[in-house]
Amino acid sequence: MAGALDGVDQRTRLVGRNRMELLLFRLGTKQRYGINVFKVREVIKCPRLTRVPHAHAHVCGIANMRGVTVAVVDLSAAIGGPHVPDPSEAFVILAEFNRSVQGFLVSGVDRIVNLNWEEMVPPPRAAGAQSFVTAVTNVDDELVEIVDVERVLADITGARGQVSQAVVAELPKAPAQSIVLVVDDSSVARRQVARTLDQLGVAYEMASDGRQGLDRLKAWLEEFGPAITERVAMVISDIEMPEMDGYTLAKAIKEDPSLSGIYVLLHTSLSGVFNASMVRKVGADEFVAKFDPDELARAVARQVFGTQPAEVAVA
């Protein structure tokens, strides 16, 4: 128990300081990749895998790990590289995000590094919209690519992208002057949130990282003055973003007397055990794990419409 509490304390100390821990790994080449440690439960030698008929081509098989049956994804193949030739010689990164646990097969694991989010930059535009890289950074004079594992998972499992009509039907019309600021570095996530807000009839603007989001709020503050808290209904922000993360953005909003009245919802794939203490520490108003359109719609409705749609069962 003490070890678990030490882990919570250690990671919570990074919150609001624009810092993160990155697990470095390889996918059969010299290129190093990274994943946020907040997503990682553990790293283990790949166990014996059981093939599943008609499974997605990138799913190597399933295995029982710590009492949980987990699908193991060949991460190299999933991002367009070659398949791992011999899984028995590989490792599995057991990750928890988007309300589920999954395994990612990698050829080797390097180490954990502590970095500042300002050291993370968006991938070059030449990488294209279909790139599975969400950010890049430099470690030991080598380029490290941060893999968009949420996109990998979405491509394999798919995602329900529409709000239930029963939820939409009972909502009033959004206030004409009300706008929602959406901050997320993932184009896939921005499209998901945009679909939800479009269904609700809510106006919104997008920013691709926390610094852009904060700059947008400051520009609105100059334009609207004290009325900004009436014009900006809420901020929906991811947590993992280059330049400035969502925790740091929330903290900056809540520490600015002119912006502190703006409702901040952290909307993230980080669905692990640390979020409750982290959200409280930075002063955010609410946390919603990605991605359930009805749950996000209910959270938006509470703030924008001042109402609570009835719970709707998801088929």
Question: Over the stretch 35-61, which tens digit does the pLDDT of each residue have?
Answer: 988 888 899 999 999 999 989 999 999
Is 50 exceeded by the pLDDT of residue 312?
no
Same domain, 278 and 234: yes
Same domain, 244 and 270: yes
Break the chain down into helix, strand, coil percent, rounded to 5: 35, 30, 35
310 lies in a domain? no
Task: Return the structure tokens found at 40.
Answer: 């990682």
Q: Which residues of 265-299 are buried (b: 16+ CB within 10 A; e: fewer)?
A: bbbbbbbbeebeebbeebbbbebbbbbbbbbbbbb
Mean pLDDT is highest, among 39-43, 109-113, 304-308, for 109-113
The sign of the torsion formed by the CA atoms of 43, 45, 51, 54 equals positive
CA distance 135 to 138: 11
Same domain, 12 and 108: yes
Is the previous residue joined to 132 through a cis bond, with omega within 30 degrees of 0? no
Same domain, 264 and 121: no
- Using the 3D structure, point to which of 157, 178, 195 is the last residue of a domain: 157
| Burial environment of residue 253 by CB neighbours within 10 A (0 to 12, 13 to 18, 19 or more) | buried
Is 50 exceeded by the pLDDT of residue 18?
yes
227 lies in a domain? yes
**CA nearest neighbour of 74 among 83, 65, 86:** 83
Task: Give the phi and the psi of residue 167 in degrees, each rounded to 5.
Answer: -75, -45
Q: How many helices (H) and strands (E) does the chain have?
A: 10, 15
Report the CATH number at residue 78. Answer: 2.40.50.180
Question: Do residues 131 and 75 touch, judged by C-beta distance below 8 A?
Answer: no
Per-residue pLDDT of 2-14, as tens digits, reads 333 344 345 445 5
313 lies in a domain? no
By residue range, what is the domain housing residue 263?
Answer: 165-305
CA distance 118 to 112: 18
Task: Return the structure tokens found at 117.
Answer: 């989010």
* pTM (two decimals): 0.77
CA distance 289 to 284: 14
Q: Which residue has the higher pLDDT, 49 or 279?
A: 49
